[in-house]
A and B are shown apart, each in its own frame.
Chain A
Amino acid sequence: MSPINEAADRNAAPLAPGETQKLKFYQKGTHTVGNRLVDVDDRAVQSSLDRSNALTCGHRACQGCGEALGARYALDAAMRATGGNLIAVNATGCLEVFTTPYPETSWQLPWLHSLFGNAAAVATGVAAAMRVKGRSNVRVIAQGGDGGTTDIGFQCLSGMFERNDDVLYICYDNEGYMNTGVQRSSATPPAARTATTPAVGDEPGNVFGTGKSVPRIAVAHRIPYVATATVADLHDLERKVVKAMSIRGARYIQIDVPCPLGWGSASHDTIRLARLAVETGFYPIFEAEHGKVTAARKIRKRTPVVEYLKPQKRFAHLFKGGVEDPRVARLQAMCDANIEEYGLVDHHDDDV
């Protein structure tokens, strides 16, 4: 048992004789106690002493960084799935910068950073080298933020998809260019304030009717596997990574990773916000195979979008002076459309 687990044990309320511990945890992957109580097969890799710590401690991510959390779980799951035969290619961005301040590195797997916009192509090259060297058991992950994925790296990404190269591309989507100081990306949601969509003027924040859904575009490439995931459900994230690593060809996972700095949220709210993004329908969590959506994660407790927006300063202008901006209703309609499209709520228990 690790020291962390012992600490958790000490803090647990003592049980009366004969009492069975009642645990309610949505996110069993995130809680050490949950990990120990579920079946061995269902435990998150982080609860194991054998975890690979592909992204180990000492890096310079901000407190509450969703991307660091998502990357650690995604890569550890992939390491487990491949028996450690894994190479990561990283786009320029926060993840690259905070993990490799020269001469240190937090990566405990072979890791290559080339440029901002070419991670998918570089990963194609690594995979080709492994094939030609007779080492196809060594698998390749490319990873980057939404800027490196949905914008500057988009052409290389589409090329990698189209050729069905044997690469899993993971996009850590924090909905903006956070590394350069929170500017708009094509993944920034409508109305969100960024440094290039400031909260001033008649329609403060990011413009409605812009942006793109790269998961849907990935699905349109009919690649073998596409999934969205969230750091609010690390267990689901791990499952998807493991599934992706069981498949050959181009695969894409996009993970919603809240950014306290860019979103103007409290560091301790990262998981809560990620969960609210799911529960409001703001960030639909689904899987697709060969061009068809095969599964969607149901909303457990349907929540109005205001609950998601209010804790974030990037949406604060929508509630200025205690008056709700009419655009909140547009955001709600967007969530409702997601819920409808992906069937995120079973209609018999739809009580909102």
Chain B
Amino acid sequence: MLKQIEGSRAMAEAIALCRPEVICAYPITPQTHIVEGVGELVRDGHLKNCEYINVESEFAALSVAIGASAAGARAYTATSSQGLLFMAEAVYNASGLGLPIVMTLGNRAIGAPINIWNDHSDAMSMRDAGWLQLFAETNQEAVDLHIQAFRLAEELSMPVMVCVDGFILTHAVERIDIPDQADVDAYLPPYEPVQSLDPKDPASIGAMVGPEAFTEVKFLAHYKQTHALKLIPEYARSFRDRFGRESGGLLRGYRADDAEMLVVAMGSICGTIKDVIDEMREEGFKIGLVTLVSYRPFPLAALRDALARASDVVVVEKSFAVGMGGQLADNVDGALRNLPVRPRLHSAVAGLGGRPIPRGSLHRLFRQALVQPWEGVHFLDLNERVIGREIHRTGKNRRSGPTAENILKQLAGGRPAEQGRPG
């Protein structure tokens, strides 16, 4: 049914259609409206047979989900940013135990400095935790990915993180098609755990494993993710067959077939990039986009095939590894590694901490990649004047005080503190 609805609310309705049995809720901006939404659906009776538990932290939220899932219940939770970090130990534990928990990640920057706005630092911090990570481009895809996520998770006995851009998706009110319960029921079979805690068949789960088997256990987790590379497109196809629209899959191209320059990106920024591509195509640039939906597993082969014919690849990502560069660019580099003739790779970081990514900046970025390619990582719209001043200021004085506050002061037109006592 078509609704004019907030993204978070739409996701909450989609999650409820998946009939989760245990939901653990802990608020954190910008994910909060999702757990509020499912909570209301439980309270008002729309979502029946569901335990909604208000926990005291994100660590507890995922821990409750771990217990519920190990006991055979379909479990769901959601978080963002600091919350994901706070539950980090449980994130690894859930995948290590092979528990098919679905978690929404309302993507948000990580502090310090504390920042509530969107980027992908949080998702990247857990990229190696053994979860599947799917990135939604639109709120429609966010809705649809949750339905696919439960099926993927339960088929594979692996947890799935559905990554949705904070505010840009979670707080946007737009037209979204909410599926019918009957269709979701037909698409998503009831959860049949491979193992569960049951007094009739006692098993010990979570025992200590030493060097004699740890490698094999980890390899099998990797093997499962490799298998997911087949399942993700398969489930996206059966989703299209039932619901009549394209959602999910490993990746998808936009005006990519004849493109000489291909942009690679994840999440909602792909919408802006498509607009820029349309404009540049008008001007005769052969440019296209590869939207990556599945970041984990990382579709090395599919991406290599998608990028092989391009001469330039520009990776635009909302996160970076300090001291290294863009994580996505690094992974794309891995996909291109064994090509006999490989495209030039350009790495750009954009939209950190919610900074807007305007079309004009992207135009300049893509042109610069052609005519004046840069080494390493390029920070889109970096305020170099502020950087220069701050480096100069801190170099003058050992007790130079806090960087973040001084930059804010500079931007506000005030003089940054010279004596290490700002304010």
* Residue positions of A touching B, CB distance < 8 A: 84-87, 89-90, 96-97, 100-103, 105, 107-115, 117-118, 121-133, 138, 155-156, 158-159, 162-163, 165
Residues facing A in B301-351 (CB within 8 A) are: none
Interface residue ranges, B against A (CB under 8 Å):
21-22, 24, 49-51, 53-57, 59-60, 63-73, 75, 89-90, 93, 97, 197-199, 201-210, 212-213
Residues of chain A within 8 A of B54, CB atoms compared:
163
From B22, B24, B49, B97, A114 is in contact (CB under 8 Å) with B97
Whose C-beta in chain A lies nearest to the C-beta of B57? A155
With A96-B208, A115-B93, A121-B64 already in contact, the answer to whether A128 and B59 are too (CB < 8 A) is: no
Q: Could you tell me if B204 and A111 are in contact, using CB atoms closer than 8 angstroms?
A: yes
Chain A residues near B70 (CB, 8 Å)? Answer: 112, 114, 122, 125-126
Cα distance A102–B213 in the bound complex, in angstroms: 9
Return B239 CB to nearest CB of chain A, in Å. 27
The 8 Å CB contact of A113, one of B22, B53, B89, B207, is B207
By the criterion CB–CB under 8 Å, are B199 and A109 in contact? Answer: yes
**Is B197's CB under 8 angstroms from A156's CB?**
no
Chain B residues within 8 Å of A96, by CB: 208
Q: B73 contacts which of A89, A108, A110, A128 (Cβ < 8 Å)?
A: A128
Other-chain residue from B55, B65, B68, B210 in contact with A159 (beta carbon distance below 8 A): B55
Q: Are B73 and A133 in contact (CB under 8 A)?
A: yes
Q: Are A105 and B207 in contact (CB under 8 A)?
A: yes
CB distance from B18 to the nearest CB of A (A): 14
Residues in A neighbouring B205, C-beta threshold 8 A: 110-113
Add 8 more A-B contacts to A114-B70, A117-B89, A155-B59 (CB < 8 A).
A97-B208, A101-B207, A108-B202, A113-B204, A114-B67, A124-B64, A125-B63, A159-B55
Chain A interface secondary structure, helix, strand, loop or mixed?
A: mixed
Cβ of A109 and Cβ of B49 under 8 Å apart?
no
How far apart are the CA atoms of A157 and B178 in the complex, in Å? 39
Nearest-neighbour CB distance to chain B for A239, whole angstroms, equals 23
Could you tell me if B203 and A121 are in contact, using CB atoms closer than 8 angstroms?
no
Measured CA separation A128–B65 after assembly (Å): 10
Output the nearest chain A residue to B72 by Cβ-Cβ distance.
A129
The residues of A that contact B71 with a CB separation of less than 8 Å are: 87, 125-126, 129-130, 133
Q: Which residue of A113, A121, A129 is within 8 Å of B60 (Cβ)?
A: A121
Contact B202 A132 (CB under 8 A): no
Report A-chain residues with C-beta under 8 Å of the C-beta of B73: 125, 128-129, 132-133
CA distance A101 to B198 in the complex (A): 21
Q: Are A87 and B199 in contact (CB under 8 A)?
A: yes
Known: A110-B202, A131-B51, A155-B57. A122 touches B207 (CB 8 A): no
Q: Are B203 and A128 in contact (CB-based, < 8 A)? A: no
Chain A CB within 10 Å, residue with most, of B53, B89, B201, B209: B53
Q: Which residue of B lies closest to A83 (CB)?
A: B199
Provide 11 A-B residue pairs closer than 8 Å at the C-beta atoms, listed in order of the A residue.
A112-B197, A112-B204, A113-B207, A115-B63, A118-B90, A125-B53, A129-B72, A132-B73, A155-B56, A156-B63, A158-B56
* CB within 8 Å for A100 and B208 given contacts A121-B60, A132-B21: yes
What is the bound-complex CA distance between A85 and B24, given in angstroms?
25
- Chain A residue numbers with a CB within 8 Å of B89 are 115, 117-118
Asked if A163 and B202 make an inter-chain contact with CB atoms under 8 angstroms apart, the answer reads no
Provide the residues of chain B in CB contact with A107, threshold 8 Å.
202, 204
In the assembled complex, the CB of B359 is this many whole angstroms from the nearest CB of chain A, namely 46
Central interface residue in A96, A109, A110, A155, by most chain B CB within 10 Å = A110
For the complex formed, measure the closest distance between the CB of A125 and the CB atoms of chain B, giving whole angstroms. Answer: 3
In the A-B complex, list the 3 residue pairs whose CB atoms are closest, starting with the nearest.
A125-B67, A129-B71, A113-B206
Contact, CB under 8 Å: A128 / B53: yes
| Residues of chain A within 8 A of B64, CB atoms compared | 121-122, 124-125, 128
Name which of B22, B24, B198, B207 has the most chain A CB atoms within 10 A of its CB.
B207
Q: Which one of B50, B66, B75 has the greatest number of beta carbons of chain A within 10 Å? A: B66
How far, in whole Å, are A79 and B89 apart by their CA atoms in the complex? 31
Residues of B within 8 A of A125 (CB): 22, 24, 53, 63-71, 73, 75
Residues of chain B within 8 A (CB-CB) of A115 are 63, 89-90, 93
Q: A100 CA to B212 CA in the complex, in Å? A: 15
How many Å lie between the Cα of A113 and that of B67 in the bound state? 9
Whether the Cβ atoms of A111 and B208 lie closer than 8 Å is no
Using Cβ atoms and an 8 Å threshold, which residues of chain A touch B51? 128-129, 131-132
Q: Which of A84, A114, A156 contacts B199 (CB 8 A)?
A: A84
Q: How far is the CB of B414 from chain A (nearest CB, A)?
A: 41
| Min CB–CB distance B88 → chain A (angstroms) | 11
